[in-house]
Amino acid sequence: MLILEDKIYFWFLLAIPLLVLIALSVGLWRKKMQNKFADAHLFSALAPDLSKIKPLLKLIVLCLAIACFSIALVNPKLGSKMETVKREGVDIVFALDVSKSMLAEDIAPNRIEKSKQIISQIINNLSGDRIGIIGYAGSAFPQIPITTDYASAKTFLRAMNSDMVSSQGTATGDAIELAKGYYNDANVISRVLVIIGDGEDHGGEFQAAAQAAAEEGIKIVTIGVGTEKGGPIPIKNNRGQTYKKDQNGETVITRSSPETMQTIADIGNGKYIDGSSTSATVEELEVFLQNLEKTEYESMQYANYQHQFQWFLGFGILFLIIESILLNRKTKWLTKLNLFNEN
């Protein structure tokens, strides 16, 4: 079983066609300059040792090095055997607020990045629990279903941003309703919904949704990010950065609402946590989860995963060394063999 841990680094492979395009452009420009300097047969006489094959070979080797380094960064891992694993845990769904107000920088680096850091750290501390992630703003959307694949969950988490939902607002009620569909295993005893955001709710239906979730046995933990003092909402464009303004031209100040988050947690038989400190937040949630009854279940999975990145890293370095020692002039002993019909 092959696992690709950080697939985002495959984007580095785009450097290969870009490099080929640059090489072709440089080659055409050089050919044009050479034609201005001398005719083709005269230039061959002036530079008899110049190889026509070596530049192409150097380009191929460099592209192979880039490909190897890209795969090494992806960190492929190979599982050697299947085994039955017994786990104990709870089902946890994270609901992340991705509305524009989460771009406010009243908490470093901003509210949404702080929230992602908290969720990522929580996932790092889990073992045996199944997790899912949804996002919400003016509406809610699924990001990743219930899974034990923490690496994939964190990859999807990193990709979340405030541009994922066109309709703005903070429909917390929709997020709770969507989360209810994630708990599809009737045998799971404890179900937890972790809502993380600034508490600015514009949907107005979160109380009924939270009550319905509580009646189904879902405990709701809310994590508040941002400050009550608040901050402006930055808008970045080609001209730089401005701030969101209202109809009167005044800068909009978005403020966190811990009261809203506390209300949701109270209705949902859960807990409200101040998300100002990542470590303290993770610790509080960990204590909350430890007090819940765990469900034991069995699952088949590949074990004894071995990292394979070192092979690609080694080949990448080897290709770089080969590229650096390859010269554009002909190799004498190869010239005698005339393998490439250069004579």
| CATH code for the domain in which residue 263 is found | 3.40.50.410
Regarding whether 317 and 226 lie in a shared domain, the answer is no
Task: Give the pLDDT of residue 333.
Answer: 46
| Domain span including residue 112 | 83-300
Q: Are residues 198 and 58 in the same domain?
A: no
Question: CB under 8 Å to 247, separation ≥6 — which residues?
Answer: none
Compute the distance between CA of residue 161 and CA of residue 176 in angstroms, rounded to an integer. Answer: 19
- In a shared domain, residues 135 and 193: yes
73 within a domain of the structure (yes/no): yes
Whether the per-residue pLDDT at 342 is higher than 60: the answer is: no
The structure tokens listed for 51 are 């190889």
Q: Is residue 343 part of a domain?
A: no
Residues 209 and 322 in one domain: no
Pick from 192, 193, 191, 259: nearest CA to 224:
259
Q: Which pLDDT tens digit goes with each residue over 168-217?
A: 767 889 999 999 999 877 777 789 999 999 988 655 678 999 999 999 99
Both 96 and 200 in one domain: the answer is yes
316 lies in some domain: yes
pLDDT value, residue 43? 55
Domain check: are 144 and 23 in the same one? no
117 and 158 co-located in one domain: yes
How far is it, in rounded angstroms, from Cα 322 to Cα 318? 6
Instruction: Say if residue 44 is in the same domain as residue 122.
Output: no
User: What's 330's DSSP letter?
Assistant: P
Residues 6+ apart with CB under 8 A from 106: 226, 227, 229, 230, 231, 256
pLDDT of residue 249: 84
Q: Give a yes or no: residue 342 inside a domain.
A: no
SS3 assignment, position 221: strand
pTM: 0.64
**183 in the same domain as 58:** no
| Residues 262 and 313 reside in one and the same domain | no
Q: What is the dihedral of CA 160, 165, 168, 171, to 10 degrees?
A: -80
The per-residue pLDDT for 50 is: 60
Position 165 confidence tier, pLDDT thresholds 50, 70, 90: confident
pLDDT digits (tens, 9 = 90+) for 123-154: 999 987 889 999 998 889 999 999 888 989 99
**Each residue's pLDDT tens digit, 54-83:** 788 888 999 999 999 999 999 888 766 556
Q: Mean pLDDT, to the nearest integer, of 79-102?
A: 80
Taking the CA atoms of the chain, what radius of gyration do you get in angstroms? 28
Q: Within a 13 Å sphere around the CA of 37, how many CA atoms are in the beta-carbon half?
A: 14
- What is the average pLDDT score of the chain? 84
Long-range contacts of 331-340 (CB under 8 A, 24+ apart): 331/51, 340/52, 340/53
Cα dihedral: 51, 52, 54, 56 (round 10): 170
Count of structural domains, the chain: 2
Q: What is the pLDDT of residues 221-250, one digit of tens each?
A: 999 999 989 999 898 877 778 888 888 888
Tell me, yes or no, whether 91 lies in a domain: yes
Distance of CA 272 to the CA centre of its chain: 27
Residue 330, in any domain of the structure: yes
- Tell me if residue 308 falls in helix, strand or coil: coil
SS3 at position 13: helix
Residues 152 and 281 in one domain: yes
Q: 72 vs 10, 13, 62, 63, 155, CA distance in Å?
A: 10, 12, 15, 14, 17
Per-residue pLDDT at 6 exceeds 90: no
Cβ–Cβ contacts within 10 Å for residue 71, how many? 22
In a 3-state reduction of DSSP, which class is residue 49?
A: coil
pLDDT at 80: 61
Residue with token string 């071995």: 306
Rounded average pLDDT over 96-122: 94
Contact 206, 172 (CB under 8 A): yes
Q: Are residues 42 and 116 in the same domain?
A: no
- Domain presence at residue 190: yes
Residue 217 domain flag: yes
Which of helix, strand or coil describes residue 102?
Answer: helix
Q: What is the DSSP letter of 225?
A: -
Q: 277: which residues sit within 8 A by CB, 6+ positions away?
A: none
- What is the distance between the alpha carbons of residues 206 and 51, in angstroms, rounded to a whole number? 72
156 versus 330: which is more confidently predicted?
156
